Structure 1
């Protein structure tokens, strides 16, 4: 295994985290276009799984095709991938059972799971600015999607939303844990394989009785949009490689909606409601605090688990 040098760790985590924020922020602003133009979300998932292939192969090639193939690496890799992709599939079903304006605020709190596990198990700590940034980020997240109007339509969605929150919170934790013993390139490769494994499930969930747009603004447009999602997932893996999970998770989860909201305001002229404005302000302050936190980078630890097979 390669050892992470203190120089490499430095502020690299911040570069990768901000790249994730930018990529996911732009992706969030345009992600709904595919469904609006008649290409269902379940097929968008299939396209997303395919867009994971190019970046996975590129970074693996850049690392000399060194894929960690020991049992622990395979377990971690598929656990991370299946938690993320499985959560996405549950989300498709959840939005048919309940209102998105209640489901997404619950899901957005997934960093609570990541932070709790990282504090208890990885013993991660941060400074006062980091603590304040984490608290503000967690306060801001639900406000991006929270709406106090509309009918709830039953509570069958609640366990599903909590399950997705748990899956994505644990995924981020395992992503950090795995980075201690395997390469980021291998982690992302297994994430790609996991996404492909669940693609047939998403395909089977598609309602083919409804008209589907197979034109250039259907699957091809979806591919372009989802490539932002895929590359953002890759940079997130590297952010966890060099940074503390208790900082990377809230920064990426709060920063991306902030960029999305700002782009929606600038491009679409969409004026956010009062709650979203408060969330934007809190997210902005939190992002700045987390970015300048001097104790956000991981301290390098020797990794003597042997060379990858």
Structure 2
């Protein structure tokens, strides 16, 4: 099953890396981040319907599946809502490095509660990935910042997204991937009213194609990546998939941004790129022990 999880993980990495490189374009054209969230929630609908159709419109409706599926969706969407507020209150160059450490929570829970293990190469890759993640957004020399509500919110978002990845893996043990993504879609849509409430409609909003249209094209990459992530967790170990995707996607984003702008990263970002590249290679090359593979039964995409 190693090729299955790695294929899905690499697809997610590629889609999220491409999404990360261009996700800021709609806001640069005057389309608010909160409305970009609304567009993202809507782009979750088509891939959810497509995979459900391929699965014969079978949706797991038992209590465990519904509870875990909605938990996954609300943790992801709720974390995004809190991130909007955190960035309004505090410095983004400190908030994003904190949030990027969410795989540490996934790794700890997967190791302690799911009994997942990996080899020496995988352990080294995980360690390097955790070191690389904060470096992509860390900016030194910005001056001292007092700890306030933004710090608390950043920690909550980190915990929410770390727990989300763990619950995706946990849900896959008894729920189809298609059902998990369906409930993730519902969780995302449930937070749309909050996103609309946070939107300042008194400010000029670009309703032309460069706003919602461009956002939809970019955010569908995020939505499809979320779907393939569910399959990656289904066939792979969470303590490997999470750091691989979370380190590989920013690495690709950095490379694409360099190609578009023609600028070379300096300082901490350059170090983060190097560590992420090494970490991704180690995690991808770590041999999988067939006897300990955490694959679960169910339909695949």
Say whether the 8 Å CA contact 1:244–1:296 is kept in structure 2.
Answer: no
**Equivalent of 2:222 in 197, 213, 229:** 229
Task: Tell me the residue number matched to 2:52.
Answer: 60
**Equivalent of 1:278 in 249, 271, 284:** 271
Instruction: Provide the alpha-carbon RMSD of the alignment.
Output: 1.4
Say whether the 8 Å CA contact 2:19–2:219 is kept in structure 1.
Answer: yes
Task: Establish whether residue 30 from structure 1 lines up as the match of residue 27 from structure 2.
Answer: no
Tell me which stretches of 4 or more aligned residues in structure 1 moved more than 6 Å: 301-304
Task: Tell me the residue number matched to 2:293.
Answer: 299
**Equivalent of 1:257 in 247, 250, 266:** 250
Task: Tell me the residue number matched to 1:80.
Answer: 72
Task: Establish whether residue 169 from structure 1 lines up as the match of residue 168 from structure 2.
Answer: no
Say whether the 8 Å CA contact 1:175–1:237 is kept in structure 2.
Answer: yes
SS in 1 for 2:116: coil
Rounded to whole Å, the distance in 1 between the matches of 2:19 and 2:152 is 27
Say whether the 8 Å CA contact 2:135–2:271 is kept in structure 1.
Answer: yes
- Report matched runs for 1:81-160 at 5 Å: 81-156=73-148, 157-160=150-153
Task: Report deviation, 1:301.
Answer: 6.4
Deviates more, 1:77-86 or 1:289-298: 289-298
TM-score by length of 1: 0.93
Rounded to whole Å, the distance in 2 between the matches of 1:113 and 1:255 is 18
Task: Report deviation, 1:62.
Answer: 0.5
Rounded to whole Å, the distance in 1 between the matches of 2:52 and 2:204 is 39
**Equivalent of 1:212 in 205, 210, 217:** 205
Rounded to whole Å, the distance in 1 between the matches of 2:133 and 2:198 is 29
Task: Report deviation, 1:42.
Answer: 0.3
SS in 1 for 2:191: helix
Deviates more, 1:264-273 or 1:161-170: 264-273
Task: Report deviation, 1:299.
Answer: 2.4
**Equivalent of 2:236 in 243, 248, 256:** 243
Deviates more, 1:265-274 or 1:136-145: 265-274
Rounded to whole Å, the distance in 1 between the matches of 2:237 and 2:289 is 6
- Structure 2: segments with no counterpart, 5+ residues: none
Task: Report deviation, 1:24.
Answer: 0.3
Say whether the 8 Å CA contact 1:247–1:296 is kept in structure 2.
Answer: no
Change (3 A) 1:100 1:152: farther
Rounded to whole Å, the distance in 2 between the matches of 1:144 and 1:75 is 34
Deviates more, 1:67-76 or 1:272-281: 272-281
- Structure 1: segments with no counterpart, 5+ residues: 1-8, 305-309
Change (3 A) 1:270 1:189: same
SS in 1 for 2:281: helix
TM-score by length of 2: 0.96
Task: Report deviation, 1:60.
Answer: 0.7
SS in 2 for 1:11: helix
SS in 2 for 1:124: coil
Rounded to whole Å, the distance in 2 between the matches of 1:301 and 1:30 is 34
